[in-house]
Amino acid sequence: MKENDSSKSKSEKQQDLAVNKGSGYGKRLTTNQGVKINDDNNTLKAGERGPSLLEDFIMREKITHFDHERIPERIVHARGSGAHGVFKVTNPIPQFTKAKFLSEMGKETSVFVRFSTVQGSRGSTDMPRDVRGFAVKFYTEDGIYDLVGNNIAPFFINDAIKFPDFVHAVKPEPRNEIPQAASAHDTFWDFVSTSPETFHAVFWLMSDRCIPRSLRMIEGFGTHTFRFLNDSDESFFVKFHWKPVMGLQSLVWDENQKISGKDPDFHRRDLWDAIQVGEFPEWDLGVQILPEEDEFKFEFDLLDPTKLIPEELVPVQIVGRMTLNRNPDNFFAETEQVAFHPGHIVPGIDFTNDPLLQGRLFSYTDTQLSRLGGPNFHEIPINRPVVPVVNNQRDGMHRMTIDVDETSYHPNTINDNYPHQTSKAEGGFITHRERIDAYKVRARSKSFLDHYSQAILFYHSQTEIEKRHIADAFSFELGKVKRIEIRRNVIKMINQVNKDLAVYVAGKLGLDIPKDIPENMQHSPNAMPEDYNTIFVKPKLQESKALSILKNRKTDNIRTRKIAVLCDDGVDGDQVDAYKDQLNGEKAMVRVVASHLGTIKDENGKEVMVDDTDITTSSVLFDALFVPDGTEEMFETMSSDTSFKEFVRDTYLHYKPIAANGKAVGFIKKVIGEDLTTTEGIVEDGTVEEFVDAVKEARFWNR
């Protein structure tokens, strides 16, 4: 029986309200020192119209805090969205790693995940053509473990010393700070054309992977090859993968650009809304594991972060599932202040000699010192481990811990040598014992010098539709490049991957295919070091199905798909109700779009609630469209409204499913007009079940 609110005391009611209204509800306003404030609206002055007084400590504290409430944003990955969740083991792997959070069936570990764009500032759009960061913080019983990666498998460079150059090139050009959050400009493509190691990642960047439909529908990759260590000190190489349970889905470029204008917070809103309504995003964590003796088994180097291991050569083993089930309580305190670091590892996981990873181990600590005000960033609540932190580190800016020990050094006799070191048997971290015998040199391994083979593999693995999208992406990006010589240099590189692709892009740019090869061709597979084939075996793999989105799409449900019901006064209300009920039953998100908010009247005078208007929303914010039958007057109104017509046309031209009943069939065909090349994906006077099947398909590319 529900408790009667009238029986509760005033303080109990305040506590109930505080749960929904925030921790300050029902409390008194104070300074940061706890002094109760009598007047928070007026500065202390010498007379009502006189000068303000410097002694007003309340005003000074408030303004000073405001002046400093913005911390330096991340240099890259500044624009981010985060969520809390849990990781649960479904297939423990103690034979490979002693990491406890991976070694026990059903074990659960709390996580915090941050997704991000790379290029733009914190206030930029969610929707650039860009790589997405995919960083996961595991709060394990052995301490913090951070898996810091991206939604593309390869990286752009293979040595950390080039990272400042890469970022400087892709950022807005220094003279005018243009363009924001975009790679379509001279400096980025100049860097690409002179740095062939970038080209594999560039193909991923030009693919549909970098214009995702939702953050809930992207893969994640750990970028580097790491090590697993088991209880017997056996070492294995490992690559990490996050596989979205919803499957992969992308946008089309025109749609993506329009979303950026209609709702630049599209991805952030989508993630937040899904969690709020209980449609929790999920990913399976997979690993590719190789024994140490297989280190030189492939035609590429495992330590080269610009390469991937094709899943056909080493299958991905699923070890657990991550579910994001709670939104942050405060964006700044959690999503903005969370500090990820590939150097945060636990026993059972260790590093390799990947030169990009080695540099990141320095860079991330250095970055947190700058952004978060000093060495105590680990004490910020979102960064705290769930286990006690005990060591001899002391003081520093923003220290939260109040240490009471008499000693802060080791060894000591005063404190009986505490805190003690932990033995290997008790779970102390042990670094992998790796033999190193080499000269100190500034050089790059010859095994890193093949920069085209995996770009070729990636391109050949795409469907014809995806290849066309890559071609159009290159054409768009290079079409924004002002210097013709940069365009020519990139076309030379494209020509090493696929001649037809180079011909298409060159044609769009009004250029001939250059007859000479790139100056950096010494890094191509046709000009490898003489001893290359004696170092690496070269298996013949023409394509990898796992690299294509369309070859791996899921069509088993329409959960969280956003469906617009486009109508106005005079609509067939029974059709609206029937479709909404059934689509909501399929866990889709249905919204009625009309010419005004509030309610509209159906053909029988019944009120129908309106969720959005045709000028406050857009078809690009939806996955499918239903236009119900209605009166002649309704369709006359809709036919005279540009927004209604644009809604229908863009839905069709972006290949999305459409359902239309009765007079709506003629309406949509008239609106689409000469662009109506096929009715595929248009359900005419069909059942809701037929429309659901069409929505499962997502796109009808034959249009």
Task: Choose among 300, 306, 304: nearest CA to 155.
Answer: 306
Where residue 72 falls among pLDDT bands split at 50, 70, 90? very high
pLDDT digits 0-9 by tens, 558-602: 999 999 999 999 999 999 999 999 999 999 999 999 999 999 999
Helix (H, G, I), strand (E, B) or coil at 227: strand
**Is 659 in contact with 685 (CB distance < 8 Å)?**
no
Average confidence score pLDDT of the chain: 92
**How many Å apart are CA 547 and CA 457, to the nearest integer?**
9
What was the pLDDT predicted at 627?
98
End-to-end CA distance of the chain: 57
- Chain segment 1-47, per-residue pLDDT in tens: 344 445 556 555 555 544 456 778 888 889 888 888 898 888 898 88
Asked whether residue 413 carries a pLDDT value surpassing 80, the answer given is: yes
Q: How sure is the predictor about 542, in pLDDT bands with cuts at 50, 70 and 90?
A: confident
pLDDT at 424 over 90: no
DSSP letters, 23-60, are TTTT---B-TT-PBPS-SSS--BSSTTSPBPTT-HHHH
Mean pLDDT of 275-281: 97
pLDDT tens track for 633-691: 999 999 999 999 999 999 999 999 999 999 999 999 999 999 999 999 999 999 999 99
Q: Is the bond into 196 cis (omega within 30 degrees of 0)?
A: no
Q: Which of the residues are catalytic?
A: 77, 150
Superfamily of 80-185+209-383 according to CATH: Catalase core domain (2.40.180.10)
Closest CA to 324 of 309, 313, 335: 335
- Tell me the three state secondary structure of residue 684: strand
Domain ranges of the chain: 1-27, 31-69, 80-185+209-383, 448-551, 558-697
The pairing of beta strand 220-221 with beta strand 226-229: unpaired
Residue 526: predicted pLDDT: 47
- In whole angstroms, how far apart are CA 59 and each of 31, 34, 39, 53? 10, 15, 10, 10
Taking the C-alpha atoms of residue 672 and residue 664, their distance in angstroms, rounded to an integer, is 12
Task: Name residue 594's beta-bridge partners.
Answer: 613
DSSP states of 463-526: -HHHHHHHHHHHHHHHHT---HHHHHHHHHHHHHH-HHHHHHHHHHHT-PPPSSPPTTGGGSGG
pLDDT at 646: 97
Closest by alpha carbon to 90, among 102, 72, 79, 78?
102
Please name the residues in contact with 385: beta carbons below 8 A apart, sequence gap of 6 or more: 139, 140, 143, 144, 378
The secondary structure of 540-597, three-state, reads CCCCCHHHCCHHHCCCCCCCCCEEEEECCCCECHHHHHHHHHHHHHCCCEEEEEECCC
Q: Under a CB-based contact definition with an 8 Å cutoff, are residues 378 and 364 in contact?
A: no
* 3 exposure class (CB count in 10 Å sphere: 0-12, 13-18, 19+): exposed
Q: What are the beta bridge partners of residue 682?
A: 658
Q: 558-697 — its CATH code?
A: 3.40.50.880
How far, in Å, CA of 494 to CA of 501, rounded?
7
Residue given tokens 């040598």 in the structure block: 417
Per-residue confidence (pLDDT) for residue 20, from 0 to 100: 56
CB 298 within 8 A of CB 313: yes
pLDDT at 488 exceeding the cut of 90: yes
- Domain 448-551: CATH superfamily, name plus number: Catalase, four-helical domain (1.20.1370.20)
Q: What is the pLDDT of residue 539?
A: 52
- Assigned token pair, 680: 């595929």
Average of per-residue pLDDT across 228-242? 97
pLDDT category at 268 given cuts 50, 70, 90 is very high
- What one-letter code names the amino acid at 379? E
Half-sphere exposure of 352 (CA within 13 A, CB side): 21
CA nearest to 394, candidates 375, 414, 412: 375
What is the band of 83 on the pLDDT scale with cuts at 50, 70, 90? very high
**Confidence at residue 560, expressed as pLDDT on a 0 to 100 scale:** 96
Residue type, 539: P
Question: What pLDDT does residue 520 have?
Answer: 62
**CB count in 10 Å sphere of residue 393:** 14
Taking Cα atoms as reference points, which of 621, 560, 461 lies closest to residue 244?
Answer: 560
Separation between Cα atoms, residue 218 and residue 283, nearest integer Å: 9
pLDDT recorded at residue 522: 44
Dihedral angle computed from the Cα positions of residues 559, 564, 570 and 572, in that order, rounded to the nearest 10 degrees: -30
